[in-house]
Structure 1
Amino acid sequence: MSARERLTDALYGAGWAGVKKLPEPVAARLGRSVADAAWKRRGKGVLRLESNYARVVPDAGPERLRELSRAGMRSYLRYWMESFRLPAWSPERISGGFEAKDIHHLTEGLAAGKGVVLALPHLANWDLAGAWVTTELRTPFTTVAERLKPETLYDRFVAYREGLGMEVLPHSGGSAFGTLARRLRDGGLVCLVADRDLSASGVEVSFFGATARMPAGPALLAQQTGCLLLPVTLWYDDSPVMRGQVHPPVEVPESGTRAEKTSVMTQALADAFASGIADHPEDWHMLQRLWVEDLEPRAPGEERT
């Protein structure tokens, strides 16, 4: 590991070891302080967040965008403070920490034994929503995690999510899709964060009036397994409780090629994500490039960044 990687791993380790021991109000104040300090530095992440918010709220002026980015950084650090503390939360605290509208779409789908894919954008705290599913609904599920550097940091994230009742598959290696399909054919639940895919296999969608790429996986899984595909959006309000919305199922089109069906279904996901992000832009933690025209130029065969 490089010195930078060792430092990153140590900081995350300290977060999981230390923050969970703090009283909740103290952890919340710490998160706001760290968020405000990062926001004042105006680093690349904050500037990118504002640039992304400018697409979501096109009539916002510079002052409004600065307000949004400050609220966005506070929401982002709330996610981290909660995530560091989740392993120490009681089942009662987890169950009381999330309320979802139209959860019947999920429970009825599971009861039918068809398998369900929940697809979410980077809104609020998707880990808390997952912990609520395993705790309140007593339903384990499978998800996919991108391999991080250093490897020890990836191992920390896997152990953290497995401790919350999730089965975690690595994104790389090529076997994740087959495992997800088997879980769904067995009537299981799969949860995927699905609002950013810069790979060559990403599906182009119209997102807030410009072209972005989103992963094809959720739509392909629904086509191949007959599972239910449900978009989910999350948000915070002024209370300690996170809110969520389970949207109606994305249907598989009756006609068209596989690529055409995947395009239509992924666009439907993007539209559902956009509705939730537009209502709560400050809870969308997108500190990276997303839209195609914002991506840096690349040489042939080179990955986008």
Structure 2
Amino acid sequence: MALSKISILTTLLKLAGKLPLRVAQALGTGLGLLGWWCRSESRRVTEINLGIGFPDMPEDQRRDLARASMKQTGRTFMEIPLMWEWPVERCLDLIKEIDGEELLSRRDPNQGLILLAPHLGNWELAGLYFSSRYKMAALYSPPHMPEFEDYMIRVRGRLGSELVRGDRRGLARLITLLREGGVAGILPDQSPRGKGNAYAPFFGMDVRTMTLAAKLLQKSGAAVLITYAERLPDAAGYRIVIRECEPGMAENDPVIAATALNASVERSVRRIPDQYQWEYKRFRHRPTGLPNPYHPGKLCK
């Protein structure tokens, strides 16, 4: 009987999950460079995004940044099996420093906390770290293969972290958790679907931005911080970085709130721009009638 796609995928993940960090990162670097040399779609999107984000950067520097980003994204890809398959303690041992921990120690334990975790560095490790410390729920989108969802929930929930879908029921669950003093993790830099969005600047371009974080803050009275796991050089591990967000994220005006959210993400990305996932088409949803940066000659609808 032929193996199903999900069986093959999980087998590959388990095999990759046996690698040491240094080997996984080296393989990821190779994958990123292969995509660069082959002039892949990922390279095209990366170069377009960096052109939008850093228009004043000299062309040769921007090209070097694009190449470095491809390498870092390859490392992120190869680190995921480690974060999913390694024992939790082995993953947490990779954390060598926590920058901004005082923001957590000052937190009122009875007040909920929203953690914004953009696609910067190793976001899977950041999730593990916080779920090891707090009663936590994380918002997620179901994978394209429904059979893979059970595996993903199991590995991401090893420390009791609850995964909730990004629907009405999931939103209600997050509000309840936050009112109980829990922690909710959100990826803030995806292009949202549906009506829960506003157009706000991100690296100088107005793009569709989620309003979910603002709604959660308004309905729960929670605090909000932004965090990421910065990859250290030479496979030395990671630094958990925790920062305050820009003011205005709980404003009733969705544009003001979305602008504060994007500014918070942008400030973190500018610190380590090579570790951001520039391969994602973050600028594809713009106000109607404006040019689509990824398809010359086409307008956004």
Q: Distance in 2 between matches of 1:164 and 1:36?
A: 35
Cα contact 2:91–2:125 (8 A) shared by 1 = no
Q: Where do residues 34-113 of structure 1 align in structure 2 (5 Å cutoff)?
A: 34-86=31-83, 87-91=85-89, 93-97=91-95, 99-109=97-107, 111-113=108-110
In 1, distance between residues paired with 2:90 and 2:15?
Answer: 22
Asked whether the equivalents of residues 95 and 132 of structure 1 are also in contact (C-alpha less than 8 Å), the reply is no
Letter in 2 for 1:25: R
Distance 1:251 1:271, change over 3 A: closer
Tell me, yes or no, if the aligned pair for 2:177 and 2:183 is still in contact at 8 Å: yes
Q: What is the number of equivalent residue pairs in this alignment?
A: 286
Aligned twin of 1:247:
243
Deviations 1:173-204 (A, max 9, x none): x2111000000001000010001224242221
Deviations 1:195-219 (A, max 9, x none): 1224242221111111012211111
Alignment correspondent of 2:260: 268
Mapped to 2, the partners of 1:225 and 1:118 lie a distance apart of 14
Q: Secondary structure at the match of 1:243?
A: strand
After superposition, the Cα gap between the structure-2 partners of 1:74 and 1:264, relative to the gap in structure 1 and judged at 3 Å, is same
1:53 touches 1:281 (CA, 8 Å); kept in 2?
A: no
How much does 1:42 deviate? 1.5
**Is 2:123 the partner of 1:126?**
yes
Q: Distance in 2 between matches of 1:33 and 1:248?
A: 35
> 1:160 maps to what in 2?
155
Alpha carbons of 1:267 and 1:106: their partners in 2 closer, same or farther (altered >3 Å)? farther
Cα deviations by residue, 1:57-112 (Å, 9 ceiling, x for unpaired): 22234433332222112211222222201231451541442533212223432x43
Q: Tell me how far apart the structure 1 counterparts of residues 69 and 9 of structure 2 sit (CA, whole Å).
A: 21
Retained in 1: the 8 A contact 2:29–2:71? yes
Aligned twin of 1:179? 173
Q: Which AA in structure 2 matches 1:49? A: T
TM-score (normalised: structure 2) = 0.84
Matched, 1:28 2:22: no
Deviates more, 1:245-254 or 1:156-165: 245-254
Structure (1/2) with the larger helix percentage = 1
For residues 32 and 253 of structure 1, what CA distance do their matches in structure 2 show? 36
1-structure distance, mates of 2:26, 2:81: 14
Question: Partner letter of residue 183 of structure 2?
Answer: L
Segments of 5+ residues of structure 1 without an aligned counterpart are 1-5, 301-305
Q: How does 1:226-237 map to 2 (within 5 A)?
A: 226-237=221-232
Report the more deviating stretch, 155-164 or 119-128.
155-164
Q: Is the 8 A contact 2:214 2:249 kept in 1?
A: no
2-structure distance, mates of 1:50, 1:23: 31
* More deviation, 179-188/159-168: 159-168
The amino acid across from 1:231 in the alignment is I
Distance 1:98 1:185 in 2: 32
Q: What is the match of residue 112 of structure 2?
A: 115
Q: What CA distance in whole angstroms lies between the structure 2 residues aligned with 1:53 and 1:236?
A: 20
Asked if structure 1 preserves the Cα contact closer than 8 Å seen for 2:248 and 2:260, the reply is: no
Show CA shifts across 1:195-252 (max 9, x none).
Answer: 1224242221111111012211111111111100112244323142222432225556
Q: CA RMSD in A?
A: 2.6
Partner Cα separation in structure 2 for residue 115 and residue 241 of structure 1:
29
Which residue in 2 is equivalent to 1:196? Answer: 190
- Whether the aligned pair in 2 keeps the contact of 1:72 and 1:282 (CA below 8 Å) is yes
Deviation at 1:164, TM superposition (A): 4.7
Q: 1:274 to 1:286 in 2, by over 3 A?
A: same
Q: Which of 132, 143, 146 lines up with 1:151 in the alignment? A: 146
SS at match of 1:21: coil
Partner of 1:3: none
CA distance in 2, matches of 1:19, 1:48: 27
Residues 228 and 250, structure 1, Cα contact 8 Å, conserved in 2: no
Distance of aligned partners of 1:93 and 1:143 in 2 relative to their CA distance in 1, 3 Å threshold: closer
Work out the CA distance in 2 between the residues paired with 1:299 and 1:265: 23
